[in-house]
Structure 1
Amino acid sequence: MFNRQRNSEAYGSSSSLCSSSSDLSRLIAGSQFSRIRQYTRTRKRENRFERVHFNQDGPFDLEEAPAIPYPKSVAFIISNEFCERFNYYGMRTILVLYLTNKLGYNEETATVLFHTFTMLVYIFPLIGALIADGWLGKYKTILYLSLVYSLGAMVVSFGAVPLTGMPTKAVTVVGLLLIAIGTGGIKPCVSAFGGDQFSLPAQSLQLAKFFSLFYFAINAGSLISTTFTPILRADVHCFGDQDCFSLAFGVPAVLMIISVVIFMAGKRLYRCQPPAGNMIFGVSRCIADAFKGWRKRRNSEPMESFLDYAKPTVGTRMVRETKCLGRILRLFLPFPVFWALFDQQGSRWTFQATRMDGMVLGFQIKPDQMQVVNPLLILGFLPLFDYIVYPILRRCGIRRPLQKLTIGLLLAALGFFLSAGLEMKMEQAALGAMPTEPDVAHLRIYNGMPCGYEISSEALGSPRHVESLGMWQDLAVRLAQSKEYAFQGKPSSGKCPPIAGKLHLQPGKSVGYLLAQNKLVEFADGLESLAATETGRSSVRALLNTPENEGPAVLLEANESPVSLDPRNPSQLYRITPGHSQLNINGQKVASLETKGGGLYSLLVAGSARDGYQHKLVEVVPPSAVSILWQLPQIVVMTAAEVMFSVTGLEFSYSQSPPSMKSVLQACWLLSVAIGNMIVVVIAEFKFTSSQSGEFTLFASLMLVDMLIFLWLARSYQYKDQSEDLEEDDANEPRSEDVMQTKPRAIETPQRRTGGGLEAELGYGAYRNHAYDNDFSEA
């Protein structure tokens, strides 16, 4: 069975869109091979090889033709694809965490940037295909855009180096734009260029092996980079940070440079086809001519269809195939919503994983590593669906592609309902960390003094007692607007002085106050400071009431670099590895602490080197109680939706479209991915819901409505008999001397005849390039 979405990268039409989508290729390879073999056997049985099988030296007979050596150039193309996919998936895996943790964007802005980048990645294939098919050819297009791609990868890696005065955000945006141009531009051309190395149909089986290797290279690059890039990011420390995004971006960038070198090394062995022309222009011309004819003759010569007005200029066949294309594109209208949900696995679902407990059987799973589950499941689901799921569905009467597409849309909605339920569970656990209502504020008061205090304020209601190194909190302070309250603190024991000050509360905010150095110190408290943290890390705030001349203060973790603390900045959060750690001041052990992943802690320390130190660890936000494994159900369901939808959808498009329109349809398929990411950008930007669970529910509900629209559009679709294409092939079989042509040739068209008020049609070749007539890729 086809994994159509990812195999549009591994196999596809060699014209117009060169081939198709990179990300979508992993799924398609398997059944394409059986299709090629079946086609070869069928053509052989019907004795159709007599005059249509050619190699570069002329016609041959299939039974007597000598074996053609396997192209050595394929090794360079497959190695290039492995390195390129390693770079793309590695960079994409950690991108949202880089945008939040390093560039300081909030989750909404990071989501917008991520999906804008993905949208551009799926728009630029159209430009790359037009350049390759109409101007430079595949080899030069891949080479030049790969250089742009490599430059973008190096720029992003360089931007992650913390250099003073460097506009990091601008550098990152420029790098991502160059990557989008590069990866999008070469996306439709690499697999088609690999297919050009074979003599078809004589090497159909060898071509199938190539796509198998190509498919493996894509998966290998994706799996390895998705697994190890998060390790480079989190477990390596550089430039004084507790992570190393520059290395995590830099290693994939080096692989991208290597991919260009490998690709150039095989130049002497490549078979390069000249630019073949692009059917997108033919379709555009057909529509434009139809509009012109409709404007001139809609009253005098009414036609059954709008496109019929283009017959005098483009011919009956072009009009017929454009109509067929339009019937399929009508079904494409609901498709962007699926991609809007699917691509959030790399953004919203990664952010969701950052708020979960990644400790599993003693191993720490990083949030971005959860993305590796999808390609692993794909490899297992392909045979599972082929041999178990689809036979069961056939027994239930579900055989047709449009029925499977509907199930895929339904599964996508179910996956997001599951993610919404999981998010609700996590939101309930975090209610005490951040106000959930707009007219509520959180107030926490920490006592860093060596004495207990009686505190009073209008904001507190009745007077409260806070023990030494203790915390008092009120998480339900009601106020309509920002307000200031007087504060008084009187020692209940010991020789500590009274402390007075002001409390400043804002609705929807969490604020903390520290009694230290005989004064009241204000700082931001709660989850707003925790937003950019990640699973597997604890967050500690150091609240030190020690003499100013004592220092330095250092936090020591097991097998980690020491973390220097700023004793006078209580707002600063430090991310540490869960487990045992200790605080040293002037090299002397002051405190021991035990933390858990996902928790927010305040470490209160009072005293001096002369009098000794006292400490207490206060839990402000509970550690993650929800295991990251709870994401598996939604990932499994979404992967099943991908197989049902993208695989079936690409096969449906491929089989139902006219042979000359297959690559035009690939272009529209990629555009639907781009539009889907645009939908995510709009919803994230305008914030239609107040919570993340509400946003997930909105997407799931939108998917259900979208599924109903698809059912309505598909209700009257008539499937095309695929034997029509074979009969049409036989009627237009090329002569051997035609195949030998390496340059597009002019196609003779019959003279115009008049009759019935309309000029008789021109030949079908009027807007076709001769290269299309020799395209065996639809096999």
Structure 2
Amino acid sequence: MNITEDAISAAEQPARKNHPKGLYVLFAIEMWERFNYYGMRAILTYFMTQALLFKLDFALNLYGSYISLLYLTPLVGGYFADRFWGNKRSIFVGGLVMAIGELILFVCGTIYNSSPALSNILFFSGLGLMIAGNGFFKPNISTLVGQLYPKGDLRVDPAYTIFYMGINLGAFFGPIACGYVGNTGNPADFKWAFLVAGVGMIISLIVQRIYHNKLVRDPEGKILGLKPDDLVVDKLNKEASSHVKPPAPIWSNPVSTVIIMLVFAVISIGALYLDTQINYLFYLLGGSFLFIIILIFSDKNLTKEEKGRIWVMVIIAFFVVFFWGAYEQTGASLSVFADRQTNRHLWGDYVMPPAYFQSFNSAFIIIFAPILAWLWLKMGKKQPATPTKMGIGLLLLALGFLWIAYGVKDAAAKQVSMIWLTGLYLLHTLGELCLSPIGLSLFNKLSPLRFASLLMAVWFTGNAGGNKLAGVLSSLYPEGGKTTSFLGYQISSLHDFFMLFVFMGGAAGIILLLLSKKLQKMMHGIQ
């Protein structure tokens, strides 16, 4: 890792071995939110096909659209936090809206049999609230992690890996808890999964409410996530001799907050439903990508170095699309594969719920994340540059699909051993650890502070494009012997289907490795 001139000197490093307590507060907030998200996601495809009785290709496409919008709305939430609410308020409001969304899905799961028309309305409404809330929650908490540390601190990369462990601790327990109560084989039980997920979101809100002001502070002791207006009001409150507080800005009062989030939720619901009719999201994503580039580069105060670094983030976000387009088959086609083509008998008559497979990746991350965090720190300046790590991550992703493609190629029986799906998740975990936490850290280091949340949202836009691509590609799943095609590539078997991702991930990884040195130069000393 190359250290810039304003980095912490080697003599200062020993005094800063421990991470600030605020990191563990953010860890807990994110962990419970991810418990909510991954717990619900683990049973979402099953709920659509087994309770709401959606056709498989429609359900998989809808799944991709939903996850895509989850990662697109941070563009709005990030921009709004930068300009109006700040990170702290945005995180809390977003989390509250997601908790309400889970409760609506609980009601949907309660009445789907007796009132199917109403349950469909509630289903799209619940997903829309999840999308809107996530847009304000997701980009803002990730941004705060890097702000806990002085500029150039060597602990930032390990901090993001620790934070990433929090994500995956929640992602490990969420599918198990929600799968245990909801993925029982009885569609009437899915509602309990939504309720358990909602409880997790409420716990996240409680943690933030209690500990944010106390512990989530920068190296100078100032509370992180406040807007300058909030700081001015706080100062006036302390200095004022009277008990009358200065009025809050109009966009910050409770009524305005409710109206803003209600409008945004309605737009999110409409955006999700509209994509089921005309499949417009790819065009919206492309337009959003161009809009944000134009918006940022219209700032005349950007230096040449800042522009180069922003272009690196744009290029990286493009390659991230291919990673997540394959990786996010986890909740789509791979969930179908786990349910229908995988032998889940463990002992006696016990059959493991298919939702449990979605905890495998997180379990591997919990095991390997600290090892890689230690390895990067141990290697110091000798470690691969960030673009190189991310190229390796794409190749490991392709290798995972090559593994499972080999496993199903000559399978005589309808169901195959769990070892093939388990091996895929292991390889995907190693690939993810080379790409996702490293990418979060890179975006934090490269971003000009005034665009910190918005550029973090660019990262999530790459996720959005990948997830929409994942939904489109998962709908090509060769169910019942049908033949599908993608850009002329014929898919008539599971082997053909999985090889599609081998080609896609492998090609993207090789190209990124070839571009690595050029991208390093454009980062101007930041690695």
Q: Same fold (TM over 0.5)?
A: yes
- Please give the alpha-carbon distance, in whole angstroms, between the structure 2 residues aligned to 1:206 and 1:320: 24
How far off its partner does 1:369 sit? 0.5
Equivalent residue in structure 2 for 1:704, among 506, 509, 518? 506
Equivalent residue in structure 1 for 2:364, among 377, 381, 386? 377
Distance 1:655 1:358, change over 3 A: same
Partner of residue 764, structure 1: none
Query: Going by fraction, where is helix more abundant, 1 or 2?
Result: 2
8 Å CA contact 1:352–1:423 kept in 2: the answer is: no
8 Å CA contact 2:332–2:474 kept in 1: the answer is: no
Q: Which amino acid aligns with 1:667?
A: A
Q: Which amino acid aligns with 1:368?
A: A
Q: Which amino acid aligns with 1:275?
A: K
How far off its partner does 1:677 sit? 1.4
Partner of residue 365, structure 1: 352
- Please give the alpha-carbon distance, in whole angstroms, between the structure 2 residues aligned to 1:671 and 1:324: 17
- Please give the alpha-carbon distance, in whole angstroms, between the structure 2 residues aligned to 1:637 and 1:192: 28
Partner of residue 192, structure 2: 247
Cα RMSD for the two superposed structures: 4.3
How far off its partner does 1:668 sit? 2.2
8 Å CA contact 2:78–2:453 kept in 1: the answer is: no
Distance 1:79 1:360, change over 3 A: same
| Structure 2 residue matching 1:224: 3-state secondary structure | helix
Equivalent residue in structure 2 for 1:164, among 114, 123, 128? 114
How far off its partner does 1:138 sit? 2.3
| Structure 2 residue matching 1:333: 3-state secondary structure | helix
Give per-residue Cα distances to partners, 1:448-485, cap 9 Å, x unaligned: xxxxxxxxxxxxxxxxxxxxxxxxxxxxxxxxxxxxxx
Distance 1:719 1:274, change over 3 A: same
8 Å CA contact 1:331–1:714 kept in 2: the answer is: no
Question: Which residues of 2 match residues 459-538 of structure 1 at below 5 A?
Answer: none
Partner of residue 247, structure 2: none
TM-score (norm 1): 0.49
8 Å CA contact 1:234–1:243 kept in 2: the answer is: no
More contact order relative to length (CA 8 Å, sep ≥ 6): 2
- Please give the alpha-carbon distance, in whole angstroms, between the structure 2 residues aligned to 1:267 and 1:404: 33
The percentage of counterpart residues that share the same residue type is 25
How far off its partner does 1:218 sit? 3.2
8 Å CA contact 2:30–2:204 kept in 1: the answer is: yes
Distance 1:685 1:39, change over 3 A: same
Q: Which amino acid aligns with 1:247?
A: W
Q: Which amino acid aligns with 2:227?
A: P
Partner of residue 245, structure 2: none
Give per-residue Cα distances to partners, 1:132-166, cap 9 Å, x unaligned: 11112223222322222111111111101135224
How far off its partner does 1:377 sit? 1.0
Partner of residue 112, structure 1: 61
8 Å CA contact 2:143–2:456 kept in 1: the answer is: no
Distance 1:285 1:87, change over 3 A: closer
- Please give the alpha-carbon distance, in whole angstroms, between the structure 1 residues aligned to 2:67 and 2:450: 28
User: Which structure is larger by alpha-carbon Rg, 1 or 2?
Assistant: 1
Structure 2 gaps, min length 5: 217-222, 230-289, 477-483, 486-490
Partner of residue 413, structure 2: 429
Mapped pair 1:275 → 2:227 = yes
Distance 1:348 1:717, change over 3 A: same
- Please give the alpha-carbon distance, in whole angstroms, between the structure 2 residues aligned to 1:387 and 1:82: 21
Mapped pair 1:183 → 2:134 = yes
Distance 1:335 1:185, change over 3 A: same
| Structure 1 residue matching 2:397: 3-state secondary structure | helix
- Please give the alpha-carbon distance, in whole angstroms, between the structure 2 residues aligned to 1:213 and 1:386: 8
- Please give the alpha-carbon distance, in whole angstroms, between the structure 1 residues aligned to 2:162 and 2:181: 28
Question: Which residues of 2 match residues 748-759 of structure 1 at below 5 A?
Answer: none
- Please give the alpha-carbon distance, in whole angstroms, between the structure 1 residues aligned to 2:58 and 2:516: 37
Partner of residue 262, structure 2: none
Distance 1:721 1:232, change over 3 A: closer
Query: Going by fraction, where is strand more abundant, 1 or 2?
Result: 1
8 Å CA contact 2:36–2:174 kept in 1: the answer is: yes
**Aligned length, in residue pairs:** 438
- Please give the alpha-carbon distance, in whole angstroms, between the structure 1 residues aligned to 2:522 and 2:183: 53
- Please give the alpha-carbon distance, in whole angstroms, between the structure 2 residues aligned to 1:669 and 1:268: 27
- Please give the alpha-carbon distance, in whole angstroms, between the structure 1 residues aligned to 2:213 and 2:523: 43
TM-score (norm 2): 0.70
- Please give the alpha-carbon distance, in whole angstroms, between the structure 2 residues aligned to 1:43 and 1:324: 29
- Please give the alpha-carbon distance, in whole angstroms, between the structure 1 residues aligned to 2:400 and 2:303: 41
Equivalent residue in structure 2 for 1:85, among 34, 59, 65? 34
Question: Which residues of 2 match residues 538-557 of structure 1 at below 5 A?
Answer: none
Distance 1:218 1:638, change over 3 A: closer
8 Å CA contact 2:100–2:129 kept in 1: the answer is: yes
Question: Which residues of 2 match residues 633-672 of structure 1 at below 5 A?
Answer: 633-653=423-443, 664-672=454-462
